[in-house]
Structure 1
Amino acid sequence: MPRTKKQEIIYTIMMVIVMVYGMVCYNIALDTKGMQYFIFGAALSELPLMGVVAFVLDTFIAGPIAKKITFRLFTPGQDKQIFIILSISLLSLWTMCPMMSLAATIFFKTGLSVQILPVWLGTTALNMPAALIWQLFAAGPLVRFIFGKAVMN
């Protein structure tokens, strides 16, 4: 876990890249009715825009909310680290998924049309389970491992 503001920024950038890339691949696969090789390259073109959006939302909204709630529930040093990690991960996902789904709906699906609400709700419903699995079993462990080896040592 990051200990300094600089480490927190590095960790957030790493997590944003891995989460956004994975979720963009997932959404393109949904749109094209299946996973194909071109998706891995196509997702890179959306990464800069969605990455910046995710970084801003996580830094100023989702991250502070997740940490505030987590540190009301758990005390570092007293409670198991895994509970703190899972709480921050799940609470971040709970706020980030709807916000990022709204951004994707506006940028790539409907714009600001009258259909924005139902499309956003549908997008969020499809993204939430995938984001949960991606965060808990792939992105989260991968980023924590790399961060621990590269930044913390």
Structure 2
Amino acid sequence: MPTTKKEEFYFGLMMCFGMVVFMTFYNLFTHGLLGSISVRGIFAQLLQIFIIATLLELFIVGPVAKKMAFSLPYDKSNKLYVILFLAFFMVSGMVLCMSLYGLGSAYFSNSLQGESLLGSYFTLVCQNFIFAFPLQLIIVGPLVRYAFIKLVKTTSFSGKTI
């Protein structure tokens, strides 16, 4: 787990990248757009969504999620509890925000086809949370923690291995 602001920044970037890649392909697949968008279009969307998600995570969702997770009464010395609560609040916040982004994209591309905005938003939030939370706990979270420890934590700022 990150211990400095610099490590937190790298960890956040790595986590955002992993979640954005999986969630983008999940949403393209669930909306039947995977075969209709070019590879260049997918990369453009990935970049745009990554930038938005990173800014949200760094400046809005991340700080709020940490405050909420650490304000609850549980044994904070147990790393598993810390990971579960942080993951829950981070995923919840990011799903709420990024589903709003997805709804806006669908609205401006006229792909809602007369559906209500509130109903569409609720559906998006449910679909995204159902996929994102297990994805975070089972795949992306462990992979990013492993990569973070191997790539970031084992190297000090002077470049020497600790």
Instruction: Supply the distance in 1 between the matched residues of 2:80 and 2:102 (Cα, whole angstroms).
Output: 31
Q: Percent identity?
A: 30
C-alpha displacement of 1:4? 0.9
The letter of the residue matching 1:105 is: L
Partner residue in 2 for 1:120: 121
TM-score of the two chains, using structure 2 as the length reference = 0.81
Paired residues for 1:4-153 under 5 Å: 4-32=4-32, 43-73=42-72, 74=74, 76=76, 79-107=77-105, 109-111=106-108, 115-153=116-154
Instruction: Supply the distance in 1 between the matched residues of 2:38 and 2:28 (Cα, whole angstroms).
Output: 7
Instruction: Supply the distance in 2 between the matched residues of 1:9 and 1:139 (Cα, whole angstroms).
Output: 17
Taking a change above 3 Å as real, the CA distance of residues 40 and 136 of structure 1, as seen in their structure-2 partners, is farther
Instruction: Supply the distance in 2 between the matched residues of 1:43 and 1:138 (Cα, whole angstroms).
Output: 22
Gaps of 5+ in 2: 155-162
Taking a change above 3 Å as real, the CA distance of residues 26 and 6 of structure 1, as seen in their structure-2 partners, is same
The letter of the residue matching 1:67 is: K
Gaps of 5+ in 1: none
Q: Residue by residue, what CA displacement relative to the aligned partner does 1:23-71 show, whole Å, maximum 9, x if unpaired?
A: 01101111128x77x8987643311111111111111221111111222
Alignment root-mean-square deviation, CA: 2.4
Q: Is the 1:63–1:92 Cα contact (8 Å) retained in structure 2?
A: yes
TM-score of the two chains, using structure 1 as the length reference = 0.85
The letter of the residue matching 2:89 is: L
Task: Say which structure is richer in helix.
Answer: 1
Rg bigger for which structure? 2
C-alpha displacement of 1:116? 2.9
Alignment: residue pair count: 148
Instruction: Supply the distance in 1 between the matched residues of 2:38 and 2:127 (Cα, whole angstroms).
Output: 18
The letter of the residue matching 1:150 is: L
